[in-house]
Amino acid sequence: MKLAIAGATGLVGRKMLEVILEVGIQFDELILAASERSIGKEIEFKGETLKVVSMQSALDSKPDVVLFSAGGEASKEWAPKFAETGCYVIDNSSAWRMDKNVPLIVPEVNAEEITKDTKIIANPNCSTIQLVIALKPMQHIYGIKRLVISTYQSVTGSGIAGVSQMQDERDLIESSHKAYPHRIDKNVIPHGGDFLDNDYTSEEMKLVHETRKILSAPEMAITATVVRVPVTGGHSESVNIEFEREYDINEAKKLIGMMPGIVVMDFPMANLYPMPSMVENRNQVFVGRIRRDESIANGLNMWIVADNLRKGAATNAVQIAQYLVRMKFI
């Protein structure tokens, strides 16, 4: 099997290499591709030094599967070209997520939507991935009427630029390339993505539209606020759910804990709950502060944390590739 990574020099691309090494995907050839400015760079992998090649060179190599983390514009241009060769494209950008012909996949939730003929597969937004894994078991039993989501997102979600801006500010260095319009160190910014005509941001509306698509719930009432916080390690979410039916809080906790890929960390009296510093470099989604919302009937609050570079991006993409192998599509 030939495996390619497009965008291999970025934060997510490098994290993909880590996850591939950890899970032990078997392949015969690894092709690392990136934009023109990164061609020729060298990356160490399993004791070998691999040179980064152009997208065209990667395409000419005819890989069986390519993990894309090269940005939306590159994906729009190159993903169809790879797909035309019979290659499976697993894309981490937003380019294909809302295309009605492209499945938006979190393997624990809806892997069955992938068929042998599915050549482009979209990886959801990092915040959406950790959300829907926790919601899926309860949606099936209780039904979900409304969601109110507030995110607390790591600077790693803005790539190298976000991390560099925060570090420069901590080091009292004036940065010439800023990821945010305001200072991020010792600050929080209620702004993720671009502002839209409805005064929500693009990141907030991704949570709305992607959650509805993955859960096959086009009418689900969802509202979201995205906040950038000065941490690395992972994204956190405060989620308020209004169910359609009555629920038992202990049963709800059991349902969440039975979901593959979830770790329930919910012992508030012992001050034990998920935090970004705990989940960094871990592939699971962590859920805590699970409690009844006493202000409405059938309401529940919970706190969800996951490493956005891992399960929120690289790990989810690699797990999709593993599914393709397991189903013998490749």
Return the DSSP state at 176.
S
- Name the strand (E) or helix (H) holding 213: helix 202-214
Residues ≥6 apart with Cβ < 8 Å to 158: 165, 179, 180, 228
Predicted TM-score of the model (pTM): 0.95
Q: Tally Cβ neighbours within 10 Å of residue 102.
A: 20
CA–CA distance from 284 to each of 173, 235, 307 (Å)? Answer: 35, 12, 8
Q: Hey, what are 240's tokens?
A: 């308020």
Residue 318's pLDDT is 97
Return the domain boundaries, the chain: 2-124+313-326, 127-308
Tell me the one-letter amino acid at 148: V
Residue 175's pLDDT is 81
Q: Hey, what are 200's tokens?
A: 């929500």
Residue 288's pLDDT is 98
The DSSP string of 248-284 is -HHHHHHHHHHSTTEEE--BGGGTB---HHHHTT--S
Return the DSSP state at 36.
G
Q: Does 182 qualify as catalytic in the annotation?
A: no
Return the residue matching tokens 């790879």.
Answer: 82
Q: Does 126 qualify as catalytic in the annotation?
A: yes
Residue 16's pLDDT is 97
Residue 43's pLDDT is 95
Cβ atoms of 83 and 58 closer than 8 Å: no
- Name the strand (E) or helix (H) holding 239: strand 235-243
The single residue of 140, 177, 209, 235 carrying the catalytic annotation is: 235
Residues ≥6 apart with Cβ < 8 Å to 270: none
Assigned fold of 2-124+313-326: Rossmann fold (3.40.50)
Classify strands 65-68 and 2-6 as parallel, antiparallel or unpaired: parallel
CA–CA distance from 7 to each of 128, 184, 298, 328 (Å)? Answer: 22, 26, 44, 26
Name the nearest CA neighbour of 114 among 312, 320, 314, 317. 320
Residue 230's pLDDT is 98
The single residue of 87, 126, 191, 209 carrying the catalytic annotation is: 126
Q: Which residues does the chain have with pLDDT short of 70? A: none
What is the tens place of the pLDDT at every residue in 48-79? 999 999 999 999 999 999 999 999 999 999 99
Cβ atoms of 237 and 192 closer than 8 Å: no
Give the CA diameter of the chain.
Answer: 60
What is the architecture of the domain spanning 127-308?
Answer: 2-Layer Sandwich (3.30)
Residue 176's pLDDT is 78
CA 137 from chain center: how many Å? 19
